């Protein structure tokens, strides 16, 4: 068993995997011009050809007319996937399939971390995921296009930079400006029964790498230990060398609200083996999440900042101030490397303005300032929404008394940023690295020279591309003599999808990022970084084959492995 993560309404189980260190895997080398066009037949006349499934096996139904020559599945934890990925350039996908129902069951065609929905709310087609941000909604009724239990042809065709979605030869949606790699493609029935008769892909195809092994062989598997799914990794290394890996345990669904607990595992051998799961905070049916860890290097105490809200309050309701309660901030402490923990103590009134609605700590890690006039100050990166503007801002909270009391620091002068991490620069400055919701698809930066009380105007970093996602940043070493220090950054390095988890290295305080290492080229999302006792770096991140929501993986690497 292992940590299992889900995205939107997905839940995938991978069994029989063990914890291993993962070596670097490079993205497939795609030709810059005139890509080679090849064809892969995924399903041919109801028989599996070059196909992969996740979840229970897709099978034919011999005793039902019309389904003896189709692969059939129903339910939420099943995918029918291509073995090969589609690279940049023109492509054509053809699927002959049928649906049993047309009543909002969310059956969909998946590619990367986006999907074209064959059956959404009110029986409408739908589109969702990074590729469709800032794109129009799909508004056609599926019942006007197909009938239940009647086969139809779905085609997805990209020519130049225009992608058309066709049903029975009729264009039902057009996506413009997409030219990058598509990756693995597949189908999910979700709450429907979906039958696939034929399925082929044609284009610049490449072999997909094996997925990374999940973090835990025993413990957090979907549907076990009382949890539906797990998300939001946080990693830290104690002075003793003990590693702590935390996440949210989501009891009943994949969503960000509902019954969610904070759960943890410990490792005392550098991540080779891990303890049994420990529930740090369970408040009944309410939401306890957004773990953000920091270690006080003076006292050795571990400080865990997290957020709480009622399980029946959703983010949109909290922002609109129609919720039953609001978002609250708590702290948990451990003085024995995570073996025991204090009860959660609320600090909301100290670190949240009355006119702030939504609020999030981290997620990931905080820091303790090591140099300059603010040395010893604990910093926790956060974000919030203000009631009047209803816009996201990043900010920090801080403690100058080893985490006994907390104060509200400065927020960014402009909106449009949220989840963030902070790193200490030379010369007593701090750098806030933030998730960016704008169309630029670049991380946003802001600098503080007063210990986080004020922040400079936002500045995008063109080298740090993102698909709108959380990321991690870490001071790995300080300059010594003539040798510059290292700052590391990890995120899904793509402008279109949560894929290609990459670590980048900077030797000039984040001004440039000349070296990098791809940890996993497939679907990947949230991550956290920690410096290990042996000098290597650990990265804890969400990854999978069909989407980033399948597992959490832990890998280590040496800074010297970063390449130009």
Average pLDDT over residues 348-360: 98
Query: Would the pLDDT of 171 be above 60?
Result: yes
Domain of 243, CATH number, reads 2.120.10.10
Encode pLDDT of 258-281 as tens digits: 999 999 999 999 988 888 889 999
Predicted confidence (pLDDT) per residue in 52-99, tens digit: 887 788 999 988 888 999 999 998 778 899 999 898 899 999 999 999
Could you give the dihedral angle defined by the CA atoms of residues 110, 113, 116 and 117, in that order, rounded to the nearest 10 degrees? Answer: 80
Cβ-contact 81, 545 below 8 angstroms? yes
DSSP conformation letters of 31-96: -SSSPPPEEEEEEETTEESSEEEESSPPB--TTSTT-TTSEEEEETT-EEEESEEEEEEEEEEEEE
Burial class (CB in 10 A: 0-12, 13-18, 19+), 447: middle
Tally of domains in the chain? 2
The pair of three-digit structure tokens given for residue 354, joined into one six-digit string = 């009355």
pLDDT at 35: 66
Are 126 and 261 members of one domain? no
pLDDT surpasses 50 at 5: no
* 226 and 157 in a common domain: no
Q: Give the C-alpha separation, 366 to 105, whole Å.
A: 41
**pLDDT for the residue 7:** 28
Domain boundary among 207, 233, 268: 207
The pLDDT of residue 341 is 98
Look over the chain and give the mean of its residue pLDDT values, rounded to a whole number. 88
**pLDDT over 70 at 218, yes or no:** no
Quick check: 225 pLDDT over 90?
no
Q: Which domain holds residue 160?
A: 38-207
- Based on the fold, state whether residues 189 and 303 are members of the same structural domain: no
Residue 165's pLDDT is 97
CA 461/CA 125 separation, integer angstroms? 36
Per-residue pLDDT at 54: 76
Q: Does any domain span residue 6?
A: no
Cβ pair 387, 357 in contact under 8 A: yes
Nearest of 487, 549, 553 to residue 519 by alpha carbon = 553
Across 462-474, average pLDDT: 96
Specify whether 346 is located in the same domain as 390: yes
State yes or no: pLDDT of 22 exceeds 50.
Answer: no
pLDDT tens readout for residues 291-347? 999 999 999 999 999 999 999 999 999 999 999 999 999 999 999 999 999 999 999
We report the CATH number of the domain holding residue 202 as 2.60.120.200
pLDDT value of residue 34:
60
15 pLDDT more than 60: no
> Which of 154, 179, 207 finishes a domain?
207
Q: Are residues 182 and 286 in the same domain?
A: no
Contact in structure between 418 and 437 (CB atoms under 8 Å):
yes
Same domain, 139 and 265: no
pLDDT digits (tens, 9 = 90+) for 95-145: 999 999 998 899 999 986 788 999 988 899 999 887 887 789 998 999 999
- pLDDT band at residue 220, thresholds of 50, 70 and 90? low
Going by pLDDT thresholds of 50, 70 and 90, the confidence category of residue 404 is very high
Residue-level pLDDT at 21 = 33
Chain centroid to CA 563: 25
- What is residue 207's predicted lDDT score, i.e. its pLDDT? 87
Q: Is 219 exposed, middle or buried (0-12, 13-18, 19+ CB in 10 A)?
A: buried
| Same domain membership, residue 224 and residue 197 | no
Question: Does 318 sit behind a cis peptide bond, omega within 30 degrees of 0 on the bond before it?
Answer: no
The Cα-based distances of 86 to 31, 90, 179, 205, 501 in angstroms read 12, 9, 11, 5, 18
For 129, left (φ over 0), alpha (ψ -120 to 50), or beta? left
Which pLDDT score, from 0 to 100, does residue 69 have? 93
Q: Is residue 386 part of a domain?
A: yes
Residue 25: per-residue pLDDT: 35
Q: Domain boundary residue among 159, 192, 207?
A: 207
Contact 102, 145 (CB under 8 A): no
| Integer Cα distance of 377 and 413 in angstroms | 22
The answer to whether residues 235 and 106 belong to one domain is no
User: Smallest Cα–Cα separation from 290: which of 332, 336, 253?
Assistant: 332
> Is 17 within the bounds of a domain?
no
Is the CB of residue 178 less than 8 Å from the CB of residue 121? Answer: no
84 in a domain, yes or no?
yes
Quick check: 162 pLDDT over 60?
Answer: yes
Region class of 189: left (phi > 0), else alpha (psi between -120 and 50), else beta: alpha
* Same structural domain, 348 and 391: yes
- What are the pLDDT digits (tens) for 470-527? 999 999 999 998 899 999 999 999 988 888 999 999 999 999 999 999 998 888 899 9
Distance, in Å, from the CA atom of 66 to the CA atom of 429, rounded to the nearest integer, reads: 68
The answer to whether residues 260 and 323 belong to one domain is: yes
Does 28 reside within a domain?
no
Position 337 scores a pLDDT of: 96
pLDDT at residue 230, as a whole number: 78
- Extract the tokens encoding 110: 């998946």
């Amino acid at each position: 068993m292992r940590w299992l993560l889900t995205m939107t309404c997905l839940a995938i189980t991978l069994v029989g995997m063990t914890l291993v260190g993962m070596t670097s895997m490079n993205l497939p080398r795609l030709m810059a011009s005139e890509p080679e066009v090849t064809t892969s037949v995924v399903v041919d006349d109801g028989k599996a050809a070059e196909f992969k499934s996740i979840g229970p096996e897709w099978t034919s139904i011999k005793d039902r007319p019309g389904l003896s020559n189709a692969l059939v599945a129903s339910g939420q934890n099943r995918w029918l996937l291509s073995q090969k990925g589609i690279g940049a350039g023109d492509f054509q996908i053809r699927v002959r399939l049928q649906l049993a129902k047309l009543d909002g069951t969310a059956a969909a065609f998946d590619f990367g971390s986006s999907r074209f929905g064959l059956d959404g709310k009110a029986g409408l087609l739908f589109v969702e995921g990074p590729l469709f941000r800032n794109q129009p909604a799909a508004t056609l009724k599926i019942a006007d296009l197909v009938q239940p239990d009647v086969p139809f042809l779905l085609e997805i065709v990209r020519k130049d930079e225009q992608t058309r979605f066709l049903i029975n030869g009729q264009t039902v949606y057009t996506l413009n400006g997409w030219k990058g790699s598509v990756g693995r493609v597949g189908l999910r029935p979700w709450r429907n029964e979906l039958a696939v008769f034929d399925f082929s892909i044609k284009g610049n195809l490449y072999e997909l790498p094996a997925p990374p092994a999940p973090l835990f062989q025993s413990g957090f598997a979907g549907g076990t230990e009382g949890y539906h799914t797990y998300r939001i990794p946080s990693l830290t290394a104690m002075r003793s060398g003990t590693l702590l890996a935390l996440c949210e345990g989501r009891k009943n669904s994949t969503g960000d609200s509902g019954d969610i607990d904070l759960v943890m595992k410990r490792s005392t051998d550098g991540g080779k083996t891990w303890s049994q799961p420990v529930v740090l905070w369970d408040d009944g049916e309410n939401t306890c999440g957004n773990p953000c860890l920091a270690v006080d290097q003076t006292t050795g105490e571990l400080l865990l900042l997290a957020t709480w809200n009622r399980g029946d309050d959703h983010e949109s309701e909290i922002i609109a101030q129609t919720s039953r309660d609001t978002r609250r901030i708590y702290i948990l402490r451990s003085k024995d490397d995570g073996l025991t923990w204090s009860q959660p103590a609320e600090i909301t009134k100290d670190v949240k303005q009355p006119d702030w609605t939504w609020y999030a700590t981290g997620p990931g890690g905080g820091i303790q300032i090591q140099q300059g006039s603010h040395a010893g100050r604990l910093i926790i990166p956060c974000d919030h929404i203000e009631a009047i503007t209803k816009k996201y801002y990043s900010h920090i909270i801080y403690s100058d008394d080893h985490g006994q009391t907390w104060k509200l620091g400065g927020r960014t002068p402009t909106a449009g940023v949220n989840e963030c991490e902070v790193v200490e620069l030379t010369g007593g400055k701090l750098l806030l690295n933030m998730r960016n919701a704008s169309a630029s698809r670049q991380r946003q930066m802001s600098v503080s020279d007063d210990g986080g009380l004020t922040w400079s105007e936002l500045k995008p970093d063109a080298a740090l591309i993102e698909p709108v996602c959380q990321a991690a940043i870490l001071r790995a070493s300080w300059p010594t003599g003539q040798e510059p220090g290292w700052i590391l950054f990890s995120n899904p390095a793509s402008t279109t999808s949560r894929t290609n988890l990459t670590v980048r290295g900077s030797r000039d305080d984040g001004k440039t990022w000349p070296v990098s290492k791809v940890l996993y080229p497939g679907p990947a999302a949230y991550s956290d970084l920690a410096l290990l006792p042996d000098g290597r770096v650990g990265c804890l991140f969400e990854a999978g084959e069909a989407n980033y929501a399948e597992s959490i993986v832990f890998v280590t690497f040496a800074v010297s492995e970063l390449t130009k």
